[in-house]
Amino acid sequence: MARLARVLLPLPLPEAFDYAEPEGMALSVGDQVVVPLGPQRLIGVVVALADASGHNRPLKPVLERRDEPPLPPGALAFVQWAGRYSVDAPGQPLAMALRGARAQKPRPERLVAATGAAPARMTPARARVLAAAEAPMPAAALAAAAGVSAGVVKALVDEGVLEVRLVAPPLAFDAPDPHRPGPALNASQAAAAQVLKDMIAAGGFQAALLDGITGSGKTEVYLEAVAAVLAAEPRAQVLVLLPEIALTQAVLARFTERFGVQPAEWHSGVPSPRRRRVWEALATGQCRIVVGARSALFLPFTDLRLVVVDEEHDGSYKQEDGFIYQARDLAVARAKIEGAAVVLASATPSLETIWNAETGRYRWLRLETRHGVARLPDIDLVDLRETPPEHGRWLSPPLVQAMAETLGRGEQSLIFLNRRGYAPLVLCRACGEKLTAPDTESWLVEHRYTGRLVCHLTGFSMPKPDRCPHCGAKDSLVSIGPGVERVEEEVRERFPDARVAVFSSDTVVDAEAARTLIEAMEQGEIDVLVATQAAAKGHNFPNLTLVGVVDADLGLRGGDLRAAERTYQLLAQATGRAGRKDRPGRALLQTYAPDQAVMQALAGQDRDAFVAAEMAEREAARLPPYGRLAAVIASGADPAALEGFVRALAAAAPNAEGVEVYGPADASLSLVRGRRRKRFLVRADRSVDLQGFLAAWRARVKVPGSVRMTIDVDPYSFL
């Protein structure tokens, strides 16, 4: 009987298309196929097969079934779910899922092997080569094994005694050994690990929050869970998500130590052929542990049994462009689809996750003590109104004194400022103009290392001019405020003998650079590390005893939904870096608002009080986690067309109980790359099908060609 194949293409199209299955092709759901679309031939995935007999339209046939691993059912179901959740075209998450399948294939290796022919003339060197050539191996390795020069091997190849074979590199990853012993766990670690092991033994979807201060040993606990999963089933797979590439090397090393083999690594810095290998090995069940960035969620696991989301509160789990998603929430969804366990780990969990734990949706495992360290650091607030830095300086007298003491003891300081570059603003003293990029309303940030002014939003940059581009005044431009480069300059001036380094995404461009800097810090080759949030998390520096926060109020400005929460998380993480076994650390927070609830909670180390106060505010305003939010953003280069569209969109908003639509309003970033931006904000009760509402709304309008409309479910950026 003829069948039709419904094929999803990795494109922003509203739905999958139907094709005829040619006789004898014997397609299955998940197969990668080639289909025609207009004049193009495209690769897609079969999402359904149905009887075509009732179908009266002639269908174009599937052209080819690709000789590639199919997308496993769980991955396919997840892709479709993610498209609906994000109110986006299902082809968008499919494109993410197929990225590894489209990566470059690993090149075959050139190996030499014996042909069985005898050499015309035997020498002792040749005899050693033949004895060593038991299995195919690279020519250089063979020469080394036989203790001969490369020329001897080459001559044997030329003579036909050895032959060169092109062999595909191995696909399978080495099997991890779950039975290697881990460290002896302390009592609270052991209790948490036991709960996780019981969860895994019970099987099926379950979620847990692993909640413990920095250094309490959460990683050791989840490694136990990983061991339990690997030991339980020979095919079971594990995914560990990390928010930063900079963290992966340290975590990979701990996995390697624990399970005896290097796990697969997945992030944007992994070369294309290696990604292809990870993708194919997973899809064919030949890879069991992946440690990766958020996009690893879309990989083709066949037997996923455990997902760990480390630093689950981290804002970088939210992808804001292209396909918009929150990886932590999608990780829970993927685990549910796969019937797997999910562990969310953090020292400062998000309010959403705490809420899920409080209401019993997630098991709540708390690690109360810090492994090996007696106490958390002492945290003091420095009131900048009382002890301000000198004019044009950023470090207050109490912080400078603490740094001097720390240096004197031969210990390390971390000076934290979550701002890249030298100065966040360049202003003309003559006319008052604040410099922005020509097509974007966002301040240009001065970078002294490169001598350029950079738009952090779009990447636009230009050399710093010596005249104001607005009024033409000469030498009138002044740098306002500090970035890490400027603080570094001050540290060098104040402590000329100290060894100072900067850790920001400008100085640490890849995983390799991060490792080098982290090693230098661990080896005590740095006295003062000036850092953005890139260094605030995950690393344990044993000789670091002072953390100074230059501008604790920074994240509170702008005042969006999560401003206080983010500030608390970031500063608690940053200050948690200080201290070691025999000497507790100190943290100094410079602030103009020492009475703010966030600052009080940080100084008093009272997370629960902060969470309770913040939850109460969210509940009163029915904001997440007590309600749901979505942003609708429209942008366009033609202001009249944009205005007309947002007016039509406002008029088309469906009436629904428990939903409020605010806007349209000019976005805070009202001009980006020459496009004006307008925003709506939707608030909905938790009982409302927010995605259904948004999909219905979108269906009521036609988006003109000059306008782009973006839906952001659960927005993290309100700009």
3-state SS class at 266? strand
Among 74, 83, 90, 212, the residue binding ligand ADP under the rule CB under 6 A is: 212
Task: Say if residues 101 and 44 touch (Cβ distance below 8 Å).
Answer: no
Side chain identity at residue 458, one-letter code: T
Q: State residue 152 phi and psi, 5-degree precision.
A: -65, -45
What are the residues whose beta carbons fall under 8 Å from the beta carbon of 510, sequence distance 6 or more? 245, 269
Our CB check for ligand ADP shows the closer of 214 and 356 to be 214
Least distance from C-beta 409 to ligand ADP, angstroms?
A: 22
What are the residues whose beta carbons fall under 8 Å from the beta carbon of 482, sequence distance 6 or more? 394, 417, 419, 423, 424, 490, 550, 551
Our CB check for ligand ADP shows the closer of 220 and 338 to be 220
Least distance from C-beta 310 to ligand ADP, angstroms?
A: 7
Least distance from C-beta 367 to ligand ADP, angstroms?
A: 7
Residues 357-376 that bind ligand ADP (CB under 6 A): 371-372
Least distance from C-beta 221 to ligand ADP, angstroms?
A: 7
Contact window for ligand ADP (CB under 6 A) among 177-185, 333-341, 580-588, 589-597: 177-185
Least distance from C-beta 580 to ligand ADP, angstroms?
A: 11
Among 220, 312, 446, 488, the residue binding ligand ADP under the rule CB under 6 A is: 220
280 binds ligand ADP (CB under 6 A): no
Contact window for ligand ADP (CB under 6 A) among 124-132, 167-175, 217-225, 377-385: 217-225
Contact window for ligand ADP (CB under 6 A) among 61-69, 96-104, 182-190, 388-396: 182-190
Least distance from C-beta 604 to ligand ADP, angstroms?
A: 21
Is the N-terminal amide bond of 136 cis, ω within 30° of 0?
no
Contact window for ligand ADP (CB under 6 A) among 106-114, 141-149, 213-221, 697-705: 213-221
Our CB check for ligand ADP shows the closer of 183 and 234 to be 183
Q: Do the bridges between strand 461-463 and strand 544-549 make them parallel or antiparallel, or are there none, so unpaired? A: unpaired
Our CB check for ligand ADP shows the closer of 218 and 288 to be 218
613 binds ligand ADP (CB under 6 A): no
Nearest by Cα to 99 from 10, 24, 167: 10
346 binds ligand ADP (CB under 6 A): no
CA 302 from chain centre, in angstroms, equals 22
Our CB check for ligand ADP shows the closer of 3 and 371 to be 371
Least distance from C-beta 20 to ligand ADP, angstroms?
A: 54
Q: State residue 329 phi and psi, 5-degree precision.
A: -70, -40
Least distance from C-beta 588 to ligand ADP, angstroms?
A: 22
Our CB check for ligand ADP shows the closer of 206 and 346 to be 346
189 binds ligand ADP (CB under 6 A): yes
- Sign, Cα dihedral of 366, 368, 372, 378: positive
Least distance from C-beta 43 to ligand ADP, angstroms?
A: 41
Least distance from C-beta 370 to ligand ADP, angstroms?
A: 8
Our CB check for ligand ADP shows the closer of 31 and 220 to be 220
Our CB check for ligand ADP shows the closer of 135 and 184 to be 184
Least distance from C-beta 347 to ligand ADP, angstroms?
A: 7
For the record, the structure tokens of 505 come out as: 């995404």
Our CB check for ligand ADP shows the closer of 184 and 651 to be 184
185 binds ligand ADP (CB under 6 A): yes
Q: How far apart are CA 117 and CA 132, in angstroms?
A: 15
Q: Residue 716 to residues 315, 397, 713: CA-CA distances in angstroms?
A: 8, 36, 9
Among 217, 263, 483, 636, the residue binding ligand ADP under the rule CB under 6 A is: 217
Contact window for ligand ADP (CB under 6 A) among 147-155, 183-191, 375-383, 659-667: 183-191
Nearest by Cα to 97 from 353, 330, 372, 286: 330
Our CB check for ligand ADP shows the closer of 100 and 215 to be 215
Is the N-terminal amide bond of 625 cis, ω within 30° of 0?
yes
219 binds ligand ADP (CB under 6 A): yes
Side chain identity at residue 136, one-letter code: P
What are the residues whose beta carbons fall under 8 Å from the beta carbon of 616, sequence distance 6 or more? none
Nearest by Cα to 596 from 571, 626, 628: 571
Least distance from C-beta 570 to ligand ADP, angstroms?
A: 16
269 binds ligand ADP (CB under 6 A): no
Neighbouring-strand partners of residue 627: 685
Q: How far apart are CA 673 and CA 440, in angstroms?
A: 5
CA 57 from chain centre, in angstroms, equals 45
CA 132 from chain centre, in angstroms, equals 46
# of chain residues touching ligand ADP (CB under 6 A): 16
243 binds ligand ADP (CB under 6 A): no
Nearest by Cα to 129 from 97, 91, 99, 155: 155
Nearest by Cα to 123 from 140, 148, 150: 148
Contact window for ligand ADP (CB under 6 A) among 16-24, 209-217, 241-249, 326-334: 209-217
585 binds ligand ADP (CB under 6 A): no
Nearest by Cα to 548 from 404, 402, 423: 402
Instruction: State the Cα angle at 623 between 618 and 629, rounded to 5°.
Output: 155
**How are strands ordered across the β-sheet holding 17-20?**
17-20, 3-8, 40-51, 32-37, 64-65
Neighbouring-strand partners of residue 120: none
3-state SS class at 710? strand
Least distance from C-beta 253 to ligand ADP, angstroms?
A: 11
Residues 686-705 that bind ligand ADP (CB under 6 A): none
Torsion of CA 299, 302, 308, 310, to 10 degrees: -20
Q: State residue 367 phi and psi, 5-degree precision.
A: -105, 115
Side chain identity at residue 64, one-letter code: E
Least distance from C-beta 350 to ligand ADP, angstroms?
A: 17
218 binds ligand ADP (CB under 6 A): yes
Among 86, 92, 214, 326, the residue binding ligand ADP under the rule CB under 6 A is: 214
Least distance from C-beta 210 to ligand ADP, angstroms?
A: 8
Our CB check for ligand ADP shows the closer of 185 and 462 to be 185
Our CB check for ligand ADP shows the closer of 30 and 212 to be 212
Exposure b/e, 669-695, CB count within 10 A at least 16 = b: bbbbeebbbbbbbbbbeeebebbebbe
Instruction: State the Cα angle at 488 between 558 and 600, rounded to 5°.
Output: 45
183 binds ligand ADP (CB under 6 A): yes
Q: How far apart are CA 608 and CA 213, in angstroms?
A: 13
Our CB check for ligand ADP shows the closer of 369 and 440 to be 369
Q: How far apart are CA 157 and CA 339, in angstroms?
A: 54
186 binds ligand ADP (CB under 6 A): yes
Contact window for ligand ADP (CB under 6 A) among 60-68, 184-192, 331-339, 620-628: 184-192
215 binds ligand ADP (CB under 6 A): yes
Element (H, E) at 278: helix 272-283
Least distance from C-beta 541 to ligand ADP, angstroms?
A: 11
Task: Say if residues 300 and 72 touch (Cβ distance below 8 Å).
Answer: yes
Residues 535-564 that bind ligand ADP (CB under 6 A): 540
Question: Where on the chain is the footprint of ligand ADP (CB under 6 A)?
Answer: 183-186, 189, 212, 214-220, 371-372, 540
